[in-house]
Structure 1
Amino acid sequence: MAATRAAESLEGGQDRREEDRTRHAASRAAESPERRQDRRDEDRARHAASRTAEDFEDTRTRLDGQRARQAASRAAEDFEDTRTRLDGQRARQAASRAAESPERRQDRREEDRARHAASRAAEDSIQRRTRSEDQRRRQAASRAAQWTFMEGEAFRYDPANNYDSHPQLYIGQMSDVCPYCNALKWHAETRGMCCSGGKVKLPELQPPPEPLKSLIGPTSFEALRTANSQICATFREACQLHGLLEDDQQWDSTMSEAAAAQSPARLRNLFALILAVCGPSNPKQLWESYKKKA
């Protein structure tokens, strides 16, 4: 058989595999439930016997081959292939677990635990380190492979694809409500991220005081210049009517004191200094009040 397959052409190998898949599919479709269960038991027994006879190098070679084939297969997948594969895996696993009896489920879990314990007990320090490195490498490769189908997808965007429904992209709706602070949360979001389970309590936001409340949401520059239903000539005038600016009372007092004791030249210098540094809200009115004394 090995010599025959070695002599196969690429097309011949592809045709043979297609025939094998068709024959297997037809054979399994005709199986009775009892025959299917017997076949699976035989497969498990054969695999268990084969793996029991493996040494460390055989196991490592087999796992490396599996990972290489799996990586090559997933690298060739497109968006729909990945989605179909993941859906098929979930369906098969759900069907298999749903058909298990409680005894079979318990046996499977105990077999898994016993196999893992025996495997790790037989490890030496080098094998343990190698296994840990393999696990880290597999995890990194698995996480990277999960997003291989999205590489360059922005340049091949297809509006017909419902990307939101992909299990690796869809994160659900914020439908869960925190019972303590009423914050909206995703279903898989870590509990306590919003208020630490009611330990953090913040006061509710109060409406802003006037005149800030009246200034929220202007729709035009004219609305910004409106104060007390009156359109002002300047923004400064509107701010003054809203009480956002200080009036000129202190500058008026300063000019009044200077007018009583200083010369007109010094009074003019003081007025210029007030204009340059202090920014009075109504400089014209301030000047008109003291121009006769200046």
Structure 2
Amino acid sequence: MPPKRRKLLGRRTAAASADRAARASETPEQTSLRLSQMDSSSAARLSMESAAARTERLASAASTMSSRRARLSVEERSLQNSQGAVPVARLRASQSPTQKTLRRLRDACFRSLESPEQTTSRRHRNTRATAASRALEQPQETAHRRFRNALSTASARALESPAQTTVRRIINARSTASARALESPAQTTVRRVRNTRSTASTRVAENSEVRRQRLENISSFRASLNGVTSPSTSFWSNVAYNYDCTVKYSARRDVQIGAMDKVCTFCNAKKWAGEQPGLCCSGGKIKLPSLDEPPQPLRDLLLGTTSHFLEAIRKYNCCFQMTSFGVKAISEGGWMPTFKVQGQVYHLMGSLLADQEEPPQFLQIYFLADYNEQVDAHLGILPSDISIGPR
């Protein structure tokens, strides 16, 4: 004999009225006990149900529910959905992580048994229901929903492992690609316009701090795609004056450029690994002539056994300069770690002949008639710590 079904409390019978009165006077403990007993009885009854009986029961329930919902108006359906969402939200809020996992697995199993037509119908039905529900939202409700969804998404992604994050991104990319492949040109245009307007309105409302954080996130994301650990702006802010011994700067991939050990196959130029292949000679298109052998005595000075000339080569070079450095320097007072200029950097040449009371300088030295005077003037520029041997 099949198990006896529950009484319908909505019937206008004495038994139904008595049951309604009894339930209205129940304490919370009695209600919880009654519901747990009903759950146990229902679970025991369903466990003895055969597959055919279960399929028939679900089909009958779906048909009954579909016919009931078909008779509802839009307002009645919206009211019913909002009323039904409250207990569902309470139930899910009270679920433990294990219960949530089991519920999601059960839903996934049910959806895996769907046919493609059933899946498409369900998605269209959910889309229409979501659109109708959001069309009735107030601006405050929309903002609250988006904030709640953002918090839920952030908390879920914070618990993800790197492998789960990768899988989620791949699934989202495939889903987005498949959805956009089915778009018509008009739908694509509408989507792009809608996204552009949404982005513009969001960026107009953001302050400087939010904008800075957004740009840093974009930079970090792009760097992660290239396999580079991109530091934030706060990391590089005055990093030279705030050295942290706990940070291994040489291990950071964004500042480690490696050794200059890459040799061009065309011109034999040494380069770093990150430099472009054709940076030196455009892939062999540019061919420079070989350097001539330096004349004597310059060759002996450059290739000799002593390193004195190479160590003081900049000082020797200053002896033969023809112009001086001209610029408008900026002095801000106090200690300045950098040399600041304003305007253009230029060379001061002056007159070709020195005044009678002034010693010749720069290009004026080359216009001295006596060769020995030229040599003495050049040597007079050298610092006193450089000793010159016999001429």
Range of TM-score over shorter length: 0.3 to 0.5
The answer to which structure, 1 or 2, has the higher relative contact order (CA under 8 A, 6+ apart) is 1
Which structure has the highest helix share of the two?
A: 1
Q: TM (normalized to structure 1)?
A: 0.47
Q: TM (normalized to structure 2)?
A: 0.37
